[in-house]
Amino acid sequence: MRVTEKGQVTIPKPIRDKLGIVPGSEVEFVDEGKVVRLENRRAGNPAKSADSFDAWLMRARGQIDTAGRDGKAFVDWLRGTRDDLDAG
């Protein structure tokens, strides 16, 4: 495989097919020391990303103990006192 002057290479069709890479796909090169792995970021499928986020959200639901604080009070507690914002 030859690299062009612009640093471009053509991903062979069998690899594109295996990874589901189509025109407009976003890919990522993952450096693992002596090996670099090519991954499909699947950014071209927002529905799949939304499904993944929703699945994560359902798994994470109920995992944070806010000690009875509402959202703002909990975030304030996490961040700590901000004298420059909370003065008064």
d(Cα 56, Cα 41) in Å, to the nearest integer? 17
d(Cα 46, Cα 52) in Å, to the nearest integer? 10
What integer pLDDT is reported at residue 48 of this predicted model?
61
Structure tokens at 73: 């009070």
What integer pLDDT is reported at residue 75 of this predicted model?
86
Average pLDDT, the chain: 83
Query: Do you know the residue count of the chain?
Result: 88
Average confidence (pLDDT) over 53-80: 84
Task: For 5-20, write each residue's pLDDT tens digit.
Answer: 999 999 999 999 988 8
Structure tokens at 35: 């090996």
Query: Which domains are assigned to the chain?
Result: 1-44 (2.10.260), 46-79 (no CATH)
pTM: 0.44
d(Cα 37, Cα 19) in Å, to the nearest integer? 12
